[in-house]
Structure 1
Amino acid sequence: MASSEISLLLRPRGRPIKNLPESITIKREDTAEEIFRKIANASKLSIHRLRVTKGSDGSPLPNTTALTVHDTGLRNRSSVDVKDLGPQIAWRTVFIVEYLGPLLIHPLFYFGRPLIYGTSAPPSQLQTITLVLCMLHFIKREMETLFVHRFSLATMPARNIFKNSAHYWLASGLNLAFWSYAPSSPAARPSNPLITYTGVAMFLISELANLQTHFILRDLRRPGSTERGIPRGIGFNLVTCPNYLFETMAWVGVWLVNWSLSTPFFLVIAFVQMAAWAKKKERRYRKEFPETYKKKRYTIIPGVI
């Protein structure tokens, strides 16, 4: 009987990788994950820093236990290219840092009004409600990051954390807080109770619906797995990403409370990004589940986009 062991030839891609061996020996019945583990052990790099592609066609090798080495198409003396992606940071840590910005900045501007704006007047009722809504939103985000979300990728390049955090720290943090809590803000003026209560109700209902969609999306993926399924439930029969629909509605609710143009400014930036993600997700569902996925015409807002 032929030996089940095969040899894979390793080639560095991009910058040289210190300690990368010329080859590794592995069994055909080993999982694809074992390829990454052996390369990581030999090169003394974190497994998350490695991108491994087939030398024959450049297609990426998945770091998964769902495929065997034989299933990947690799055979004895096959070449694989190995790239060092550089220092990595956990996606969960990235999300925590992103949402921490508004949680720090909003109270700073709300309670620091005498120093920042030079006013001794207390915040208005609408400004107080704005603070409460923004804090609730980002505390919810942090709790979801810690206890709800499951990530298909464990890490991202550490340098990207500054770019990712800028959206939240600047657009929904500094921008939203500075204009919402200023003495000249529309939120400093007397309120229309009907509009205010409508905004608060829209915010709370949307946040709960958004949370429910996140639970649905979480349950599509088993712990430790990157496999996905087709989401079904609240909103998913209408649009591809109802979580983005409810996110949008929640921020419209905030706008109905504070009437500051900084709110739609942030929302437009966020909506453009969510629209791109939603279109990409719709394409992925159609590709992964061509026979079973019911195609959606609208990805975020029914009848609009």
Structure 2
Amino acid sequence: MASSSISLVVRPRGRPIKNLPESITISPDDSTTQIFEKIASASKSSTHRLRITKGSDGSPIPNTGSVTVYQTGLRSRSAIDVKDLGPQIAWRTVFIVEYLGPLLIHPLVYSARALIYGTSTPPSELQKLSLLMVSLHFLKREFETLFVHRFSLATMPARNIFKNSAHYWLLSGLNLAYWTYGPNAPTARASNPLITYAGIALFVIGELGNLSNHYTLKNLRRPGSTDRGIPKGLGFSLVTCPNYMFETMAWVGVWLVNWSLSTGVFLVAAAVQMALWAKKKEKRYRKEFGDKYRRKRFVMLPGIY
């Protein structure tokens, strides 16, 4: 279309935004990213702090280079509402902090057994194995955060880091560690070797399968893009989210090694949350890709859910 400029009316929504312009001038052919950049520049703010919606119906305007101003339905003198989301923190930083908790807590509790439990007995082989498995799991997650994952959103509200980190620092950190490395823990006693080997096998298969799935999901997006494709590969013909299936498998493996109730509690809590995410993902795939997407009956666990 013709690239004659249009004027958009800018209105604050919620808390006042200092230096927010009353209007901006923009070309209909510009990407919606330009709307965010113009307002951020004028208000001396970050584009990630801004949520911009259409004044006519409240629908969000995406901060993307693939959608033009004209495609959003905005025309000359259309109103847009701007909300300040507050201080933001990068999703990648949040993930790093989340997984750092168990990586620090487990070795600390393991090495301070004498101080915490008042015991002089050395850790058992199962306790050593449990520490190794948990540490490898979260080291893998840190690796994926740094080198594999691409995030559709750059930031989240900074205050959310405490809520998001609590799940890992408390439930899979302090909870798992305290009940795994004590002298009276199930890991302090001998277990059936066949069950232990089965647990190790499930853990290895689960971790490698999960890593493979994450590389598949990474390669669906071009660098710097939030566009998604339909995932294909290991497990994707069985369930919507095989990465969650393999994640669950890995934690079942940890539980078979240490037989700790705390591990079982974390496993159930994590599986329920992943199941909810998987259900939403299936709905999104059906809506986004329509007939191109082969619908799945099971979203996470074949034959079960």
TM-score (norm 2): 0.99
| Secondary structure at the counterpart of residue 289 of structure 1 | helix
CA distance in structure 1 between the aligned counterparts of 2:112 and 2:53, rounded to whole angstroms = 53
Cα deviation, 1:80-120, whole Å, max 9, x if unaligned, reads 00000000000000000000000000001111000000000
Equivalent residue number for residue 52 of structure 2: 52
Equivalent residue number for residue 303 of structure 2: 303
TM-score (norm 1): 0.99
Q: One-letter code of the match for 2:157?
A: P
CA distance in structure 2 between the aligned counterparts of 1:166 and 1:2, rounded to whole angstroms = 52
Is the 2:285–2:293 Cα contact (8 Å) retained in structure 1? yes
Counterparts of 1:18-97 in structure 2 under 5 Å? 18-97=18-97
CA distance in structure 2 between the aligned counterparts of 1:2 and 1:202, rounded to whole angstroms = 60
| Secondary structure at the counterpart of residue 283 of structure 2 | helix
Cα deviation, 1:26-74, whole Å, max 9, x if unaligned, reads 1111111000000000111110000000001110001011011111111
Is the 2:216–2:231 Cα contact (8 Å) retained in structure 1? yes
* TM-fit CA distance, 1:244: 0.3
Q: One-letter code of the match for 1:57?
A: D
| Secondary structure at the counterpart of residue 215 of structure 1 | helix
* TM-fit CA distance, 1:2: 7.6
CA distance in structure 2 between the aligned counterparts of 1:112 and 1:183, rounded to whole angstroms = 12
Q: One-letter code of the match for 1:243?
A: N
Counterparts of 1:90-169 in structure 2 under 5 Å? 90-169=90-169
* TM-fit CA distance, 1:4: 0.8
Tell me the matched-pair count. Answer: 305
Is residue 2:230 matched to residue 1:252? Answer: no
| Secondary structure at the counterpart of residue 287 of structure 2 | helix
Counterparts of 1:285-296 in structure 2 under 5 Å? 285-296=285-296
CA distance in structure 1 between the aligned counterparts of 2:264 and 2:59, rounded to whole angstroms = 42
CA distance in structure 2 between the aligned counterparts of 1:190 and 1:71, rounded to whole angstroms = 66
* Farther-moved stretch of structure 1 (143-152 vs 196-205): 196-205
CA distance in structure 2 between the aligned counterparts of 1:44 and 1:297, rounded to whole angstroms = 49
Equivalent residue number for residue 194 of structure 1: 194
Cα deviation, 1:223-261, whole Å, max 9, x if unaligned, reads 110100100011000101000000000000001110111
| Secondary structure at the counterpart of residue 123 of structure 2 | coil
Cα deviation, 1:197-233, whole Å, max 9, x if unaligned, reads 1111110111001000000001111111010010001
CA distance in structure 1 between the aligned counterparts of 2:100 and 2:220, rounded to whole angstroms = 27
Cα deviation, 1:106-150, whole Å, max 9, x if unaligned, reads 001111000000000000000000000000000000000000000
Where in structure 2 are there 5+ consecutive unaligned residues? none
Q: One-letter code of the match for 2:184?
A: S
Q: In angstroms, what is the RMSD of aligned CA positions?
A: 1.1
* TM-fit CA distance, 1:191: 2.4
CA distance in structure 1 between the aligned counterparts of 2:46 and 2:268, rounded to whole angstroms = 38
CA distance in structure 1 between the aligned counterparts of 2:3 and 2:90, rounded to whole angstroms = 39
Distance 1:83-1:244 versus aligned 2 partners, 3 A rule: same
Moved over 3 A (4+): none
Equivalent residue number for residue 266 of structure 1: 266
* Farther-moved stretch of structure 1 (69-78 vs 145-154): 69-78
Is the 2:3–2:29 Cα contact (8 Å) retained in structure 1? no
